[in-house]
A and B are shown apart, each in its own frame.
Chain A
Amino acid sequence: MEDAAGLMERVRARDADAFELLYDRYHRLVYGVALRMLADPLAAEDVTQAVFLKLWSAPALFREGNFGAWIARVARNRAFDVLRSRSSQGEPQLGDELSAADALEDTALARIDAERVREALAQLPPDQREAIELGFFGGATHEQIARQTGLPLGTVKTRIRTGLRRLRGTLESVVTV
């Protein structure tokens, strides 16, 4: 199976068949992230359409590394745009472009599978999982989470870090890196 980097080379040469293969392989990830953040299937489809058309019109945004990590980040950013327009408040956002260092780092744990990740997340203590999910999918800052939960800011930050480290460790034990 041709890898995503090879398909992106073809997309840069305006190969619609390569684009279709990428869509088939990654649309569930893009749609899933958008649906989780927006809880609205139609809005999630709009985000999915925007992300893939962006991929077609500006393929140079992806350079190298884990394509899934990159497109998930783009999906999160577009979904944030929608959340922002709903709440008219600013949320933090990651850039669409991966730095070369980011891209290489993300090749670790490249062969992850959604079901195993869901199981690994489920193994985290609920307070750590909730803080991570609120931060990633809810667009909440650590200060907002601290206010919502009544916990000190430092506790929220530590929970997030501890949870992410534990998640990484659990995944390493089940995934061939």
Chain B
Amino acid sequence: MTAHDELLDNVAAYALGMLPPSEASAVAEHLKSCEECREEYRLLRPAITAVAYSAEACDDPSSGATSASPLLKTRIMKEVRAQAAVRKRTQSWPAFAVAAAALALAIFSGLLNLSLNARLSRDRAESAAAAQTIADLTAKDIRRHPFAGGEVLTRDEHLYIAMHDLPQPPAGHVYQAWTLAKGAKAMAPSVTFSPTGGVAVVRLPQDAALQAAVAVSLEPEGGSRQPTTKPIALVRI
């Protein structure tokens, strides 16, 4: 048996999820550079899914794989429907998004009154951007792509990410948005931001129509060129 045959055996154990973490990491790394092992992995994965399906319970007691109690479904659905109802009552994305944008507009308006002439044109541009945000977020044709903890919103070429219950980033860190352009293989860095009162509504400069996905990760202050932490949100649009 060659050394590479041994690696192929390790790929099978890796695909089955039975390697200790250190060995699993080594195989995952090897898969990135070895087409033969990747092909083996692709070949074996469905067989492993099939192994899982071999345990699927059925309602025929003679199979020895009986089903869960119907009461289990009752319990789960009771909780899910209760949460869905609360969500419906408090569904306030437009309200909170508009409030956040309106707050921004108020701040910028205040700045307009106080600013020096040299800042006037910049502040007007920011004020116009805030007004545009309000117009977008309240438009009937805005498209929503919800995820746990927020929504990605698109309208024409405009692209926003809105998040709630977002903790303040640790000192020296910020949240950073990422975009995956259609046909691209890697995420591109977008804006960095921090939440206010747990809420963030951020306009991304990228053209929404050209993007396939948006992600958010926690990054060192100043942002990163590539994500350095696991994304806390990843949304296909």
* B9 x A161 contact (CB < 8 A): yes
Q: What band does the interface of chain A fall in when counting residues whose beta carbon is under 8 Å from B?
A: 35 or more
Across the interface, A157 reaches (CB within 8 A) one of B6, B79, B83, B88, namely B6
Cβ of B122 < 8 Å from any Cβ of A?
A: no
Flag B17-38 by CB within 8 Å of A: 1 or 0 each.
1111100100000000000000
What residues of A have a CB within 8 angstroms of the CB of B18 in the complex?
92, 135-136, 139-142, 160
Across the interface, A76 reaches (CB within 8 A) one of B21, B52, B65, namely B52
Q: Within the complex, what minimum Cβ distance (angstroms) separates A72 from chain B?
A: 4
What residues of A have a CB within 8 angstroms of the CB of B45 in the complex?
69, 102, 105-106, 108
Cβ of A164 < 8 Å from any Cβ of B?
A: yes
Cβ of B80 < 8 Å from any Cβ of A?
A: yes
Please measure, in the bound complex, the distance between the C-alpha atom of A173 and the C-alpha atom of B159, giving whole angstroms: 47
* B46 x A141 contact (CB < 8 A): no
What residues of A have a CB within 8 angstroms of the CB of B19 in the complex?
92, 141-142
Q: Within the complex, what minimum Cβ distance (angstroms) separates B25 from chain A?
A: 11
Contact residues of A: prevailing secondary structure: helix
Please measure, in the bound complex, the distance between the C-alpha atom of A143 and the C-alpha atom of B45, giving whole angstroms: 21
* B75 x A160 contact (CB < 8 A): no
Flag A19-39 by CB within 8 Å of B: 1 or 0 each.
110011001110111011000
What residues of B have a CB within 8 angstroms of the CB of A66 in the complex?
49
Cβ of B44 < 8 Å from any Cβ of A?
A: yes
Cβ of A151 < 8 Å from any Cβ of B?
A: no
Binding site for A on B (CB under 8 A): 1, 6, 8-13, 15-21, 24, 41-58, 65-69, 72-73, 75-77, 79-81, 83-84, 87-88, 144-148, 233-236
Given A16-B84, A136-B52: 19 more A-B contacts, CB < 8 Å: A13-B144, A14-B87, A23-B77, A29-B57, A31-B57, A48-B68, A53-B80, A60-B233, A60-B234, A69-B52, A72-B49, A73-B17, A108-B46, A109-B46, A109-B50, A141-B18, A143-B20, A160-B12, A164-B12
